[in-house]
Amino acid sequence: MWAKNTPSRKARQRGRRVTNEGPFPPRSDLRYAAGVFDLLKTDATSKARLGRLTTSRGVIDTPVFMPVGTQASVKALDPRELREMGTQILLGNTYHLSIRPGMEIIQAGGGLHSFMGWDAPILTDSGGFQVFSLAKIRKVRAHGVEFRSHLDGSPLFLGPKESMAIQRQLGSDIAMVFDECPPHDAPAKEQNLAVERTIRWARECREQPRAEGQFVFGIVQGGADPALREHCAKEIVGMDFDGHAIGGVSVGEPEPEMMKAVEFTEPFLPANKPRYAMGLGTPAQLVELVARGVDMFDCVLPTRVARNGTAFTNRGTFAIKGGACKAEFRPIEEGCTCFACRQFTRAYIRHLLNVNEILGLRLVSIHNSHFYLHVMAEIRRHLAAGTFEEFRRGFIANYVPTSRVLASRMVGAE
């Protein structure tokens, strides 16, 4: 809920502030979630882990992919479809939901789960990334960020207290701390300042009340600087959060730099808590990041590229709208068990896309989302069987990266 900031005239001048409805309960009344993460198995040939995270709304088998439901909806998909394809947990967005439809509506609707008709776990991001990626005008203050709404340009303020208040009202199962995510090519001084703010804001987030049963994950920043990553990780881990995220990745950096950021951070994260790489990545990147010890992922790619008619397969992506599919009367991918592949051909889906029928983008979204979830299920199966390395080698050998990823690798190798 974006509301008028009332504590002082100076604060009022900084724009609207998110607050709780009513005062926070006294510190003695706060109830913190007892995070339960069982590390079931570690791969003998890599850092890959098979685990299980128990939340109040269900058990999550890891490694896990979380479809992105920014506006309380995974684009083009409904909850029934998501559950049928094996979705265990969704991601929601603090910034966007607090603006539209607003916290009053979501609370009147019984909280985020009830409002969107989803009874399984939800992770909400803090809104920090949107503040820095969407805002045209922003000023970083000691306790948050002044910026302007991407909708109407109205002044807003979001900080640790405001972000945690929104996530408490949303009732998400996992809330993320409010952090600062600078550009990957930011100067060293800016990276250092961002890390210090991230640490300070994490402490503020840690002190805020939570929804009943709500976990809170800390976020590690530090760019591509190994010393900065180590420093930030040790400080965040010392606050005893329920899990930890690796932030500042997938923000425009070359792929090798992204992998290094994860490699610089992972050694300092405790083995008995889940690890989350935020905003990643392509299917091949997910496989490689699992091998580097990451348990949780989210990415907008499955539905984003689907709206342009691009499909994921075990051999990479291809454009269904292209002329090569005009008379291809076979599924998007042979052997795929998603609804789109069981029922329809490439030729039919291409036709729908080219005549702008909504069903076309829905079917590609179904396939792509199912594919991501299937890859993670296969990873879990091979980890349990002790054959992950064989799966990893075969998947990477067959998966052809896009030209953009290849170019990114070349830049990173220079």
DSSP string for 279-320: T---HHHHHHHHTTT--EEEESHHHHHHTTTEEEETTEEEET
For residue 95, give Cα distances in angstroms to 2, 173, 273, 278: 10, 17, 26, 16
Q: Is 245 helix (H, G, I), strand (E, B) or coil?
A: strand
- pTM for the full predicted model: 0.91
| pLDDT on residue 413 | 55
Neighbours of 154 (CB within 10 A): 11
| pLDDT on residue 4 | 34
| pLDDT on residue 5 | 36
User: Rounded CA gap, 414 and 399, in Å?
Assistant: 23
Is 61 an active-site residue?
A: no
| pLDDT on residue 59 | 97
Type of residue numbered 178: F
User: Rounded CA gap, 77 and 116, in Å?
Assistant: 12
Instruction: Judge contact between 46 and 291, C-beta under 8 A.
Output: yes
Single out the residue of 2, 299, 269, 252 nearest to residue 149, CA to CA: 2
Per-residue pLDDT of the chain in tens (414 residues, 90 and over written 9):
343 333 333 333 334 444 333 333 333 334 444 458 999 999 999 999 999 999 999 999 999 999 999 999 999 999 999 999 999 999 999 999 999 999 999 999 999 999 999 999 999 999 888 777 776 778 888 889 998 888 888 999 999 999 999 999 999 999 999 999 988 889 999 999 999 999 999 999 999 999 999 999 999 999 999 999 999 999 999 999 999 999 999 888 999 999 999 999 999 999 999 999 999 999 999 999 999 999 999 999 999 999 999 999 999 999 999 999 999 999 999 999 999 999 999 999 999 999 999 999 999 999 999 999 999 999 999 999 999 999 999 999 999 998 888 887 877 555
| pLDDT on residue 6 | 32
Is 225 an active-site residue?
A: no
Catalytic choice (43, 125, 173, 225): 125
Domains of the chain: 2-300 (3.20.20.105), 310-410 (no CATH)
List % helix, strand, coil for the chain (3-state, nearest 5). 45, 20, 40
Catalytic choice (43, 173, 295, 298): 298
